[in-house]
Amino acid sequence: MLSQKNIEIVKSTAPILEARGIDITTVFYKNLFTDHPELLHIFNHSNQKQGRQQTALANAVYAAAQNIDQLHTILPVVKQIGHKHRSLGVRAEHYPIVGEHLLRAIKEVLGDAATDSIISAWADAYGVIADAFIGVEKELYKQARSQKAGFADFKPFIVSKKVKESDVITSFYLEPEDGGDVPEYDAGQYISVRLNIPGETYSHIRQYSLSSAHHPNFFRISVKREGKGTVSAYLHDHLKLGDRLEVSAPAGDFVLNQETTPLVLISGGVGITPMMSMLETAYRNQPSRPVSFIHASRNEAVLPFKGEVKRMIQGHDEGKCSFVYGTLALSEDQLEGDGSDYYVCGPVPFMKAVIERLKHLGVPVDRIHYEFFGPGLDLAGVEEVERTHS
């Protein structure tokens, strides 16, 4: 429990954290990886190089300072990040290392402005926040391990099938190397894939949405080839049938609800992948639920799953789909009435435009659910959080 004095001190640092947060987190990661290069096996190197992780952490620290007296308000963010940490293999023993280097970075960047009382208050605050993460993640590890066919850490899988879905997206069917089943998962969740790429010093871990409903003996992921993506290029060009890679148990809290309300799935680009799982799952478990599937892509050549979506939709009287090339301009005709649930996934500009349009058309914010790939923004107006999922 934080003292009132330390709460006031931490809250007083919010303005300077807003102004200098990225400076602090840049120094933090530099020192962390210098002292503990083994942690480079966990972190996304591309996000580090592009500064995305530094920005995400800076905003998370700033949000913590603002809300230190009401930490329950950021519990959803803790759970979101906890899912990611569990899928990456982050453990309780990593938190003291992170805390030490965060305090050191604050002192290094702020100099004399980081007084002993500020460092002491932040040390106490970090302890409380770390305990919250550790508690959430302990439960997530337990859930992953205890379910049928479950496992808590990375497990070896083999590539059993590889399918080109479009000019830029390829699906990989992954089966457990031991011949067993895969655990159940919620539509919309993702797995982490860990690769050791020849010529690379450290392991690479990426999160990919599961792009089908649950099947007992395989996971399906569908990967977009990124322009300079080391991992996506390796998967597309070098991963062959029978090749081995390591996979985490499914994670994530962007999941299809079990209501019977009309469902609208809206995606752009590779954001279609979790929607495929939601569409198949909805029709399997809720066959009478009305579903509208709306997807935007640049052109026909980069559009995946068109035939698969149409086959599923055509098998149900309450289903309809729309494929748009270029900018998606939602109209009132595409809304499904009061009580409908809208799931949105895609590039950040696409999602901002779609969510703002939905709100303008009168859709309540609590009926808009979204996921995007990369450390990201809460597009409904909450602070940035660390969510790496690509």
24 shares its domain with 130:
yes
Please, what is the average pLDDT of the chain? 92
Q: How many Å separate Cα 152 from the centre of its chain?
A: 18
Q: If you average pLDDT over residues 245-267, what whole number do you get?
A: 96
Strands 263-268, 291-297: pairing is parallel
The reply to whether the predicted model has a pTM over 0.85 is yes
Angle at 90 between CA 84 and CA 95, to 5 degrees: 115
Number of domains observed in the structure of the chain: 3
Q: Which amino acid belongs to residue 338?
A: D
Q: How confident is the model at residue 242 (pLDDT cuts 50, 70, 90)?
A: very high
CATH number (domain holding residue 358): 3.40.50.80
| Catalytic position from the list 29, 95, 283, 343 | 95
**DSSP H stretches of helix in the chain:** 4-12, 14-35, 45-50, 52-66, 75-88, 94-110, 116-146, 230-237, 272-285, 306-314, 348-360
11 shares its domain with 101:
yes
Q: Which whole-number Å values give the CA distances from 265 to 107, 270, 369, in the listed order? A: 46, 13, 10
Examine the fold and report which residue of 126, 146, 166 is the final residue of a domain before the chain moves on: 146
Choice among 212-221, 222-231, 297-306, 328-337 with the minimum mean pLDDT? 328-337
For 191-258, give the DSSP string: EEEEE--TT-SS-EEEEEEB-S--BTTBEEEEEEPPTT-HHHHHHHHT--TT-EEEEPPPB-S-----
Dihedral pair phi/psi, residue 248, rounded to 5°: -90, 165
166 shares its domain with 285:
no
Judge whether 332 counts as a catalytic residue: no
Burial (CB count within 10 angstroms: exposed 0-12, middle 13-18, buried 19+), residue 265: buried
Model confidence over 267-322: pLDDT tens digits?
999 999 999 999 999 999 988 899 999 999 999 999 999 999 999 998 888 889 99
Cα gap 144→152, rounded to integer Å: 5
Residue 382 has pLDDT above 60, yes or no: no
Model confidence over 178-202: pLDDT tens digits?
999 999 999 999 999 999 999 999 9
User: Which pLDDT score, from 0 to 100, does residue 373 have?
Assistant: 65
9 shares its domain with 130:
yes
Choice among 122-131, 245-254, 378-387 with the minimum mean pLDDT? 378-387
CATH number (domain holding residue 121): 1.10.490.10
Residue 389 has pLDDT above 50, yes or no: no
120 shares its domain with 220:
no
At what angle are helices 116-146 and 94-110 packed, to 10 degrees? 150
Q: How confident is the model at residue 377 (pLDDT cuts 50, 70, 90)?
A: very low
94 shares its domain with 39:
yes
The encoded tokens of residue 222 equal 């569908």
User: Which pLDDT score, from 0 to 100, does residue 378 have?
Assistant: 44
Q: How many Cα atoms occupy the beta-carbon half-sphere of 190 within 13 Å? A: 30
Work out the percent of the chain whose per-residue pLDDT is above 70: 95
Model confidence over 161-178: pLDDT tens digits?
999 999 999 999 999 999
138 shares its domain with 164:
no
Cα gap 151→133, rounded to integer Å: 20
Cα gap 88→193, rounded to integer Å: 9
Judge whether 95 counts as a catalytic residue: yes
Model confidence over 14-71: pLDDT tens digits?
999 999 999 999 999 999 999 999 999 998 888 888 888 899 899 889 999 999 999 8
Determine the structural domain holding residue 223 and report its residue range: 155-247
The larger pLDDT score, comparing residue 77 to residue 237, is at: 237
Q: Are 52 and 43 in contact (CB under 8 A)?
A: no
173 shares its domain with 129:
no
Q: How many Cα atoms occupy the beta-carbon half-sphere of 71 within 13 Å? A: 18
CA nearest neighbour of 342 among 191, 304, 308, 351: 351
The encoded tokens of residue 357 equal 């349009």
- How many residues appear in the chain? 390
Angle at 245 between CA 308 and CA 228, to 5 degrees: 75
Would residue 191 count as lying in a domain?
Answer: yes
CA nearest neighbour of 386 among 65, 109, 82: 82
User: Which pLDDT score, from 0 to 100, does residue 372 have?
Assistant: 67
Examine the fold and report which residue of 247, 280, 298 is the final residue of a domain before the chain moves on: 247
Residue 384 has pLDDT above 70, yes or no: no
216 shares its domain with 301:
no
9 shares its domain with 142:
yes
User: Which pLDDT score, from 0 to 100, does residue 376 have?
Assistant: 47
Cα gap 218→191, rounded to integer Å: 12
Cα gap 188→99, rounded to integer Å: 32
Residue 374 has pLDDT above 80, yes or no: no
User: Which pLDDT score, from 0 to 100, does residue 216 have?
Assistant: 97
| Catalytic position from the list 62, 137, 141, 208 | 137
Would residue 257 count as lying in a domain?
Answer: no
205 shares its domain with 278:
no
Would residue 90 count as lying in a domain?
Answer: yes
Would residue 167 count as lying in a domain?
Answer: yes
Residue 370 has pLDDT above 80, yes or no: yes
